[in-house]
Structure 1
Amino acid sequence: MEIIRAKTAGFCMGVSLALQKLDKAIADARGRRICTLGPIIHNPQVLADYEALGVHCVDSPDGLHAGDLVVIRAHGITRDVEEALRACGAEVLDATCPRVKKAQLSIRNATAQGATLLLFGEADHPEVRGLLSYACGPAHVFGNREELAALAPDPAGVYVLASQTTQDRGEFEHLEAALRERLPQLVVLSTICDATRERQQEALAIAHTVDAMVVVGGRQSGNTRRLASLSAQCGKETFHIEQAGELRAEDFAGRRRVGLTAGASTPRKLIDATEAWLKALA
């Protein structure tokens, strides 16, 4: 059985930078308690490794104390939470992904005169909550075409269309085209990061050439779930796993080529272990 591994699988720039900042905080701790405000990335194995190193994950600024060093998660946080965080007496290290921070500031600037934000994303995702908080006017989040249609935007209104950074670029372009026909004062922000686009394109290219796809990454990771969804949309059986032990040999019986990719918060060791497991079946 041939394994086709995606070159883009694994940590993106934003995740790498966030973990580098957390590693430096641990090295420079000097007895201070090191905390993250929410999971720093969406990968349970990585989070378990940091917990073993003594890093505390707190849900709100209320769980912090003066003298703590707290790292803001890669997905970013809302403006009001950041204000509370900086007022609580802890030292703050911002590990928000630069692409997410750029999206936050772009939304703030584009809506400064009160334009309505239409945000394509997952309403309960921490990045989306953060992005919404930067809107200076009304803001609505939608996850698909039906939810967008239900918002019934007024053709006479001024709107800003943006997206969660890890959303499906192809779907976003369809939404943009449909809205431009109805909203003459629409402003469109390019907030989907290049790494997301490249991963999705490579996953689709591989999926078209294999008998099945394996996607490695946390189940809470939106970009990982979208890779699995895109692969499945090609009509190929897709296995979204967090680690190799979840796979079953019988699911790969008779398959000649299997594709392998991973989300942006998946460490290389988990991808390597999955590839080794698949190769052992040959």
Structure 2
Amino acid sequence: MEVILAKTAGFCMGVDMALTKLDQLVAEPDGHPIYILGPIIHNPQVLKRYADKGVIMVHDPAEVPAGAHVVIRAHGITRQVEESLRERQVIIKDATCPRVKKAQLLIERNTAGGCKLLLYGEVDHPEVAGLVSYAENGHFVFGSAEELAGYELSPGERYVLAAQTTQDRVQFEAIAERLTGRGDLNVTVLETICDATKLRQAEAKELAKTVDFMVVVGGYNSGNTRRLAKVVSEEGTPCEHVETVDELPLSELARYKRIGVTAGASTPRVLIDQVLAGLESL
């Protein structure tokens, strides 16, 4: 059996930066407790490791006491939550991915003149909550072209179209082309999809064409990992999304000659290596 690992598999720059900042706080304790607002990344194994080191995860910002450290994860937070934390003298360590921060500021700048935001993304995703908080004149979040088609757009209104940074670029570009092709709409299109996401998805598609089976490693609650599995499946290649090596159907996979492996942006290298070892043992 030949096992091929995608070059782009594993941590992206934003995730790596967020974990580095949290690691620095954990390694240099100053007596103040360390909090994170929601999971620092969407990977349960990593979260358990930090919990064992005393890092406290909360979902309500009000639970972070004054004087405590709080690490803002790569997804970012809403503008209102950040202002509230500063007012309560919480010590903020901002690990928002630079590309997410750029998207927030682009949305703020381009909606300031009275434009409404149309955002392609997952309505319940924390990154999306942060992005739409920077929209000055209302917003509509949609997860598909069909969902957007069901939303009434007013010819007299101005719109800004943007996307969650980990969305599928091909789908977004098709949506943008459809909107800008309408002569009755005024639409400004923002480039907010991360290049790393584009490259990861493109490589996964190409790898899927050359192998008999694909394994995608990453948390089940990781949006970018789920989309990787989706784009691979769309190529017609059999695919299995797993969090750990223990979930691999090894007896079934033994019949394949070439297996490709990729991983989401929040998947630690140790988990990828364990999956590779499990496959190579066949």
CA distance in 1, matches of 2:89, 2:116: 35
The residue correspondences of 1:121-270 to structure 2 (distance < 5 A) are 121-182=121-182, 184-270=185-271
> What's the % identity of the aligned pairs?
57
Contact 1:64 1:88 in 2 (8 A): no
The letter of the residue matching 1:173 is: E
Instruction: Identify the residue that residue 10 of structure 1 maps to in structure 2.
Output: 10
Distance in 2 (CA, whole Å) between partners of 1:266 and 1:13 is 12
Cα distance in 2 between the residues matched to 1:8 and 1:164: 20
Please list, as runs of the form range in 1=range in 2, the aligned pairs for 1:58-69 lying within 5 A after superposition. Answer: 58-69=58-69
Question: How far 1:4 sits from its partner (Å)?
Answer: 1.2
Q: Secondary structure at the match of 1:86?
A: helix
Instruction: Indicate conservation of the 8 Å contact 2:154/2:185, yes or no.
Output: no
Matched residues, number: 281
Q: Which residue of 2 aligns with 1:28?
A: 28
Moved over 3 A (4+): none
Instruction: Find the aligned partners of 1:138 and 1:32 in 2 and give their Cα distance.
Output: 38
Give the superposed CA RMSD: 1.0
Question: Which blocks of at least 5 consecutive residues in structure 1 are unaligned?
Answer: none
CA shift digits 1:204-258 (9 cap, x unpaired): 0000111111000011111100000001111111111111100122221321111
Equivalent-residue separation in structure 2 for 1:107 and 1:250 (angstroms): 49
Residue equivalent to 2:109? 109
Q: Which moved more, 1:154-163 or 1:5-14?
A: 154-163
Structure 1 counterpart SS, 2:199: helix
Separation of aligned partners in 2, 1:264 and 1:3: 20
Rounded Cα–Cα distance in structure 1 between residues aligned with 2:243 and 2:16: 19
Q: What amino acid sits opposite 1:30 in the alignment? A: D
Under a length normalisation based on structure 1, what TM-score does the superposition of the two structures give? 0.97
**Which residue does the alignment assign to 2:70?**
70
8 Å CA contact 2:116, 2:139 repeated in 1: yes
Conserved in 2, the CA contact under 8 Å of 1:61 and 1:88? no
State the one-letter code of the partner of 2:80. Answer: D
Cα drift, residue 32 of structure 1: 1.5
Contact kept? 1:38, 1:59, Cα under 8 Å: yes
**5+ long unaligned stretches in structure 2:** none
Query: Which residue number corresponds to residue 87 of structure 1?
Result: 87
